Amino acid sequence: MSNKNLMYALPQWLLIVVIAGITLTGTTGCKSKKKLAREQAAAEYAAKVDQAKKDLTAILNDQSSWNLDEKEQRFNTIKSWGLQDEEVQNLIPLVADKLMRERAEAARQAEEERLKKLEEEQQKERTGSYQVIENYFKAIASASDLAEANTMINQALQLFATSDVPVLIIISQDGGFNDYDRPTTIRRYLEQLKDTKTHNKRIEQVKYDASGKITEIELIK
């Protein structure tokens, strides 16, 4: 007998009991699923809270292996969860302040490194452009005789606007300020190189006129 025929064959009171049982079973099943979903959501929330506390504390106490970018990414993820846990809410501003200070320090170090590299590059450029003058200084100091030294002096002077171009010798540097020895002229300095046969200074700065002749030169011990 089919279920439909069975239903018609049952007494009315028994039919009501059967229908009530089916309805009750369905309702109980729905309630069980909702309860399970609530329990699962609660467990997931609790797990997020626990993980957030661990991660935020690790960042705050420098106990993680993450670099700054990774720490910031993790912090932003935790904030996006919108957790209402009191401890998490208290940790968030502390970690935000720490990451802000770390980012500022990283920016400062990056700027220092950039300036250092720039100075090194400029020093290389200066060294390259001053190499001709340096070579004359070395050649005069190491000349085998006076005639050779005098020839080198005359050739070197062609690089300068006049033979009286000032030569400033830095003897110390402090806080961006230079302390100079008694000034001399390029001719006297070249003659000194010839007489002492010693070249122990490097070129710090050179000034040129419009025609490319040197009008001032700074040396440093």
Tell me: the pLDDT tens digits for 98-138?
999 999 999 999 999 999 999 888 777 766 668 899 999 99
- Cα(216)–Cα(221) distance, integer angstroms: 17
Q: CB count, 10 Å around CB of 88?
A: 20
Q: Which of 196, 203, 117 is nearest to 160 (CA)?
A: 203
Structure tokens, 151: 């020839």
pTM for the structure as a whole? 0.50
Pick the CATH number of 130-220 from 3.30.519, 3.30.1370, 3.10.450, 3.40.50: 3.10.450
- Cα(180)–Cα(84) distance, integer angstroms: 67
Parse the chain into domains and list their residue ranges.
Answer: 45-129, 130-220
Tell me: the pLDDT tens digits for 14-57?
556 556 566 655 556 666 888 888 889 899 999 999 999 999 99
